[in-house]
Chain A
Amino acid sequence: MTRIVVVGAGPAGVAAATLLVERGADVTLIEERAQPGGQVWRAPAPGLALDMDRLLRGDSEGFRRFHAGFAVLRPRIDWRPETLVWNVHGGTVQIVAGGAQQALPYDALLLATGATDRIAPIPGWTLPGVFALGGAQAVLKDQGCLIGREVVFCGSSPLLFLAAVQYARFGAAVTVLDTTPLGAKISAVPGLAASAPRQLAKGIGLMAALRRQGRPMHLGVTLLGFEGSGGVTGVRWRDARGVERVTACDAVAYGHGLRPESQLAEIAGASLRFDRLRRFHAPEADALGRCGNGLYVAGDGAAIGGAEAAEVSGRLAAMALLADRGESVEFGALPERLARLRRFQDGLARAFAWPHAQVAALADGVTVCRCEQITAGEVRAVLAPQLGAAEVNRMKAATRCGMGRCQGRYCGHAAAEITAAALGRADAPLDRLRAQPPVKPLPIASALVEDDWP
């Protein structure tokens, strides 16, 4: 019997599993968290009385549809919540659940592992009270908590405005500081309007809502640093006219969009391609999500895309998988719909840009790697010609930057920019830290079980 393993129970993985099951396939769906939903449809923890209509407004219908769909799917699949896939090796996924390890063989593997926040290190970013933007929203959705009462949402991302509006609905005093200038947003509008006018209207609606409520909102700012000792108390920034200002706060939600969680795909053998627009690497796949050799990718882990693109790409990858196994499938208009949604994302990437020049020029004293506490200056020091670290993985070996517990998720993009600039290669495709198993630290107890493997 054909065993299909799907990793990730966000909109992409669940859409894929649903389609596969409807076609009679035998599906194992593995999810690290206790509940399905991924980022966008993240569910409140059991017993949490969070009013999802108040939080999500117009999106609460999508939330309900997703979870109702999952309730129908669940008895039809081998559902493995609270299970981490930490490696892919020899045609098996290596999993750990409740401290016990297991290797599950598969015939086809569909990875829908989503994304995490992309962070540009700046002074003060390790202070308590400074949280990743996506995390600030996640802790509201699943724990019913705000990261603070006076919260500055800063960086650049469509999520900045969404999260700020949601925090305001729960009584927070919010300020938005977006590092991308208004001009870049305006030039992106025609492209955005042509590919997904409804989503564009939604985004503009969020900004208008903040304006209407009189929430401070500034575009084209330069973030100079987060201030405080023992905890953040303010954000120092320069406005578009060059005036330096400080906004007092008790928390900061910070991020520059999302980065694909592509480690498992890389370990499973996918090539990675450099995306020049976003300046990161993503798995090389065809338009349907095929990476070759029975490996498929979908959702944010394949290409950052938002909830609708995740769902559509999950279905397409599942169809490609079935087609490759000799079944007849009808792709219909789905590929064109996905292409349109991805064009919209390209527009968003321009309207909410990664500040790569600023990252490359980060002052020597600023921490780049928060795990190992390595500064930009320490990274640059080992890149001096006579020391010979002429590539980011050699830099990692020499400094430990990227070797800590987060495995380079939060420093890797900045380290790559700093390395490229120091080596005079900022215009070439960036180097990247290579992914290594385990993709996340394993509990000590589970590592011991490893010896018992056949």
Chain B
Amino acid sequence: MAAAPSDPPRQRLLRVAACTGPEVALVVDGQAVTAREGESVLSAVLGVVDHLRLHEVSGELRAGFCLMGACQDCWVWFADAPRGRACTTPVREGMQVFTRPPPGLLP
């Protein structure tokens, strides 16, 4: 259930159709998240948190914008891959996603 509009929701996306694929376990900022095959990193993360990243210059919260791979505003950090788009990257088992530069990795 969404919170009242004056109180920003903890999750940003609302799922209205079920993903029926096998479960995929990932870790978002250290928190275990269960997604399903076919989900994008963006919908998995925005299903549990209300943003994807902090803007490098302004520090503003960002949650993606175009949702079709064009604006690059949804870049997150991965433990085992270069930074990249959350909206066009499918979830993978064991994936570690960060919405802040993870310690020990280059920003």
Residues of A within 8 A of B (CB): 32-34, 39, 44-51, 116-117, 126-132, 134-136, 138-140, 143-150, 170-171, 228, 230-234, 248-251, 261, 370-373, 404-406, 409-410, 440-441, 443-445
Residues of B within 8 A of A234 (CB): 5
CB distance from B38 to the nearest CB of A (A): 4
Is the Cβ of A129 less than 8 Å from the Cβ of B65? no
Is the Cβ of A250 less than 8 Å from the Cβ of B9? yes
Give the distance in Å from the alpha carbon of A264 to the alpha carbon of B25 in the complex: 38
Residues of B within 8 A of A249 (CB): 5
Is the Cβ of B84 less than 8 Å from the Cβ of A443? yes
Q: If A128-B12, A143-B39 touch, does A230 touch B5 (CB 8 Å cutoff)?
A: no
Greatest chain A CB density within 10 A among B9, B38, B84 is at B38
Give the distance in Å from the alpha carbon of A149 to the alpha carbon of B9 in the complex: 10
**B79 interfacial by beta-carbon distance below 8 Å:** no
Is the Cβ of B88 less than 8 Å from the Cβ of A248? no
Contact pick for A47, options B36, B50, B58, B88, CB 8 Å: B36
Is the Cβ of B68 less than 8 Å from the Cβ of A135? yes
Contact pick for A144, options B9, B15, B66, B67, CB 8 Å: B15
**B8 interfacial by beta-carbon distance below 8 Å:** yes
Q: If A46-B38, A144-B16, A144-B18 touch, does A139 touch B67 (CB 8 Å cutoff)?
A: yes
Is the Cβ of B12 less than 8 Å from the Cβ of A148? yes
Q: Which residue of B lies closest to A374 (CB)?
A: B57
Given pairs A146-B13, A251-B12, 13 additional interface contacts (CB within 8 A): A33-B69, A116-B66, A129-B12, A132-B67, A135-B66, A135-B68, A143-B40, A144-B18, A145-B14, A145-B15, A145-B16, A147-B12, A250-B8
Is the Cβ of A146 less than 8 Å from the Cβ of B19? no
Greatest chain A CB density within 10 A among B36, B39, B51, B66 is at B66
Contact pick for B2, options A33, A39, A143, A150, CB 8 Å: A150
Give the distance in Å from the alpha carbon of A231 to the alpha carbon of B63 in the complex: 9
Contact pick for A126, options B37, B60, B72, B84, CB 8 Å: B60
